[in-house]
Chain A
């Protein structure tokens, strides 16, 4: 039996969330931090995101994905941590003990005093969107195509159709075009785009790539290799309309149909998940339902900006350090933070009242102009912010003042809602 290791903290995943959390924990005074990553290098998915636009909130400048990652990697390498690359966590149990494996140590039994979940998310595949047709080569997820082109130096195809207008799909439309492939178009089943507007402009408009809203792929042709796809218009219930089919010849279908937080380990540990986010239910310190297990970044819910991932990582890393060093136990009582009008979900979902400023992140269900986002309890707003426009792809961050939150604790559960700007009394601060 392998010797059991007992670090203060294990961080699972070394993307932006894991790097940020491990650093925050070290800086908060934790000495023995172990960072576990299944890939061969640090950075998670950022090294393949070679486009720019990262870091405008955290660094006040725009960086490429590798540059954003590099800043954290440089700090982590100087911070004296036990970094385990090429290492897969096989199991995480409710008592926080875990089993991992790599080719150098073999099986590792680890019993840390705290755990930060930072496993990120993965792409939805063809099987999750149920596209009929054959199963030829040439159907690829957008992130996988990104890795092929930007890291491995491989071209997945020459004539490309993209299904889904998520940010990675839009960015890959441009990338395929710049690398000499022909992108026939981007097809989106919803009546609004799935990605950020700045990506629509810079990736599609700049290169005259058409976006077909309310359309989907209804058949994949080709037995060995994709030869064409059938696209159809969909009705208000997202059902393909007969008679609207069009055959589009192509050799590659790129799927950008959404991301799913990667919570297999969280489930094994008994962490309660929120069906609305697909990630753990957390409180304002990013602590999950299992004491001593924290979560941050895209494992919690899929963020649009890496800057927010870093913010949640800092909260989780600091909280894990406090938990270990000062034995800050979890407060048993918690208020629920519920999604209200035009809000699909909110994180954190619980407020226990530890004090300090809390950022609530949420997504709206539908685009809306001239609104006010607010956090209310018993009809009284605790935090509010105006927005001229809200859209489902763009997360909203609402910061709440510590004093107002403490005051709220006696009043009962909270709701985050988006209301028309002229509605309801403005009682801020």
Chain B
């Protein structure tokens, strides 16, 4: 069955309104984009939408109670909430280096969660 999907491109301020037509999972057509990036974005949004994950984990003995973390690569959009939930139970010990791996291979996506800042120990 033929189906239409609508996306708003996030690659530039132009924010094209994209229309993707598919039949049984096969992309037939993308319209509405002003450039190639728009077509690629629509295809990725349809086939495998991905997002970066940013959240915080708890810290023991740090100058602050929380450490911001970021994924090393975008993960499937459908797993973002679950990833954040999994990280809610994580606690690390200060000090933490910028870029230190906090959680390996989050939900089997292949992406690690790393510290997005340095966090000193409270003395």
User: Interface residues, chain A, CB within 8 Å of chain B?
Assistant: 41, 47, 50-52, 62-67, 69-70, 73-74, 149-153, 178-179, 196-198, 200-202, 205-206, 387-391, 394
A150 B56 Cβ-Cβ under 8 A: yes
| CB under 8 Å from chain A, chain B span 50-72 | 51-52, 54-56, 58, 63-66, 68, 70
Chain B's nearest CB lies how many Å from the CB of A258? 20
B116 A67 Cβ-Cβ under 8 A: yes
For B84, what are the chain A residues with a Cβ–Cβ distance below 8 Å?
178-179
Name the residue on A nearest B119 (C-beta).
Answer: A66
Q: Tell me, in angstroms, the Cα distance from A148 to B13 when the chains sit together.
A: 30
A200 B8 Cβ-Cβ under 8 A: yes
B54 A64 Cβ-Cβ under 8 A: yes
Contact flag A51-B13 (CB < 8 Å), given A67-B70, A67-B116, A200-B8? no
Q: Is the interface of A mostly helix, strand, loop or mixed?
A: helix
Chain A's nearest CB lies how many Å from the CB of B5? 13
A50 B58 Cβ-Cβ under 8 A: no
Q: Tell me, in angstroms, the Cα distance from A387 to B15 when the chains sit together.
A: 12
Chain A's nearest CB lies how many Å from the CB of B94? 14
A206 B77 Cβ-Cβ under 8 A: yes
B116 A50 Cβ-Cβ under 8 A: yes
Chain B residues within 8 Å of chain A by Cβ, number: 26
Q: Which of B54, B64, B98 contacts A52 (CB 8 A)?
A: B54
Contact flag A205-B34 (CB < 8 Å), given A50-B56, A151-B66, A389-B14? no
For A179, what are the chain B residues with a Cβ–Cβ distance below 8 Å?
84
Additional A-B contacts beyond A66-B68, A201-B10 (14; CB < 8 A) = A50-B116, A51-B54, A52-B54, A63-B116, A64-B116, A65-B68, A67-B116, A70-B98, A150-B68, A178-B55, A197-B10, A198-B10, A388-B34, A390-B13
Q: Which of B34, B66, B118 contacts A70 (CB 8 A)?
A: B118
Chain A's nearest CB lies how many Å from the CB of B30? 16
The answer to whether B80 has its CB under 8 Å from any CB of chain A is: yes
Q: Which of A152, A197, A205 contacts B66 (CB 8 A)?
A: A152
The answer to whether B117 has its CB under 8 Å from any CB of chain A is: yes
B15 A389 Cβ-Cβ under 8 A: yes
Contact flag A388-B14 (CB < 8 Å), given A52-B52, A202-B51? yes
B54, B80, B118, most chain A CB atoms within 10 A? B54
Q: Which of A67, A152, A200 contacts B98 (CB 8 A)?
A: A67
Q: Tell me, in angstroms, the Cα distance from A387 to B77 when the chains sit together.
A: 31
The answer to whether B2 has its CB under 8 Å from any CB of chain A is: no
B13 A389 Cβ-Cβ under 8 A: yes
